[in-house]
Chain A
Amino acid sequence: MAAKKFTIDDVKHIAQLANLVLSDEQLQKIAEQLSSVIGYMSKIQALDTKGVVETSQVTGLENVFREDVVDEKRMLSQESALSNAKNTHSGYFVVDAVLEE
């Protein structure tokens, strides 16, 4: 795979996926940086991985269960759960509207 040159539109698309709002200056800068960094990382394409199984974790553990009971020691009170929120209302987190009227 040839080294990819990132355009401003490419970066805008990735930023949207990443939920980041970038200024025009940041878009320009990151386009250049992604081209250089991803270009370097692309040397991985030379590695022969045909038929190699992926490793996503190294513990070898599978299906680690716990008893299906409530552990009250780990529960936060409503007051504590909301203690770091900037915007609350009647004991709830306030979020931006997701539906339009």
Chain B
Amino acid sequence: MLLDKTISELAAGLRKKEFSSVDIVTECYDAIEKHGKELNAFITVIDNTTALTYAQKKDNERTENTSPLHGIPFVLKDAYITQRIRTTSASNVLKNYIPQYNATVYQKLLDAGAILIGKMNMDAWGHGGSTENTDFGPAKNPWDTTRVAGGSSGGPAIAIAARMSAFAIGEDTGGSIRNPAAWCNITGLKVTYGRVSRYGTIAYASSFDTVGPMARTAEDCALLLELVAGQDPYDATSSPHKVPKYTQKLTGNIEGIKVGIPKEFFGQGLDSEIKKSIDIAAKKFESMGAKLIELSMPMFDYGLPVYYLIGPSETSSNLARYDGIRYGQGRNQFTPETMRRIMIGTYALSAGYYDAYYKKAQQARTLFIKEYEKALSSCDVLLMPVNPTPPTKIGELMSDPLANLLADVYTTLKYWIRISARN
């Protein structure tokens, strides 16, 4: 299958005319035809005639100098604004919303010649870790359809695992790229805040939201990030730091790299099979010349409370704009999970409770930054689990709101500080 190849292998094959963009795009639609309904990964599938016509055009215009993404099919989490293409954020509030402009990340991919195949299912507004909090029906894990795909970027992860797309752009606030990437067995990168423009991204929690790649390999993610990262005049929080050539850093040599293993992340609550897999990975890194360093990060226990105070606070403010007047449906269309998050956030920001909750959480955020700075002064990278358990059964998390929140215990620890993480 062509879609088993990495992006750079696909790009090389296209240039040598071993196969065409039409061939790759055809494979995507065959897979969608076969598995699309069952997995429920898509909210909107782009009409295949449109995509194939575009692929043919790309095949005709390809030269030696075209981008490696030229003619490569991709999907977007339905949190990205796409001109003239319905964008829902998986919520009935936006079920008929047709955007008037393009998100920066989408525009950059179009400019590179990549081909959009679909807009993907997710937890509405990013509110969830299982792609069950969606008004378009739960998405299913391609490895076991009785289980969830993870979330909130579940649809994009499924599309890659089930070979319906070469790559995807997800969005990570408290684990939304890493969690489904881990549960669908693909590679996802939560980038440093500000590395990629958020212009045209439907906001969940604005001081946490990050735009990142999801693909089959780390090399694919490096290639994608190189292309989509960078300062954007339309997003004042985008980073002015130069974008490194990430692909050139993939030498395969990790000799002497110090890998920190925070012991708090491997305690009670971590599934034994997941722990075993991480141990195997750690041993592998060690055999390649890396040094393993056990360290302690005692703030661990406070991660979830901090995230679930700041995230809902920001989302209650961001979602206040949905009044059904300029676009979208009324506020009674929010799902119970989204209403709950709006209510938690409104409470944490309300007079009399602001100091005890929101302000306290923002102070804790400072302490977390210090703790990570300390940890990263003694090692180069940290190795941690993404999820505490294997994928849950469909419906299991939705019945208990607190259990639903607790599933994010590891991923939420990495979002509010200036740090990137990958699965």
Contact = CB atoms under 8 A, between A and B. Distances in A.
Interface of A: 1, 11, 14-15, 17-22, 26, 29-30, 33-34, 36-38, 40-45, 47, 49, 52-59, 61, 64, 66, 74, 76, 80-81, 83-87, 93-95
A95 B237 CA distance: 33
23 contacts: A17-B346, A18-B342, A19-B331, A20-B332, A20-B334, A30-B339, A30-B343, A33-B401, A37-B340, A37-B401, A41-B304, A41-B344, A44-B305, A44-B360, A45-B356, A61-B240, A76-B100, A81-B326, A83-B98, A84-B96, A85-B327, A86-B324, A87-B325
Q: Please classify how large the interface on chain B is, using the bins under 10, 10 to 19, 20 to 34, 35 or more.
A: 35 or more
Contacts of B363: 49, 52-55
Contacts of B366: 52-55
A49 B331 CA distance: 36
Contact of B369 (A30, A55, A95): A55
B69 interface: no
B365 A37 contact: no
The main secondary structure of chain B at its interface with chain A is helix
A16 to B, nearest CB: 9
Contacts of B367: 47, 49, 52
Nearest to A76: B100
Contacts of A58: 193-194, 207, 369, 416-418
B327 A49 contact: no
Contact of B350 (A17, A30, A54, A66): A17
Interface string B340-358: 1011101100100000110
Interface of B: 96-98, 100-101, 193-194, 207, 233-234, 236-237, 239-240, 301-302, 304-306, 308-309, 316, 320, 323-328, 331-332, 334, 336, 339-340, 342-344, 346-347, 350, 356-357, 359-367, 369, 401-402, 405, 416-418
A47 B326 contact: no
Contacts, number: 146
Nearest to A16: B346
Contacts of A74: 101, 234
A52 to B, nearest CB: 4
Contact of B357 (A40, A41, A85, A94): A41
A36 B305 contact: no
A30 B346 CA distance: 13
Contacts of B343: 11, 14-15, 18, 20, 30, 34
A84 to B, nearest CB: 3
Nearest to B308: A41
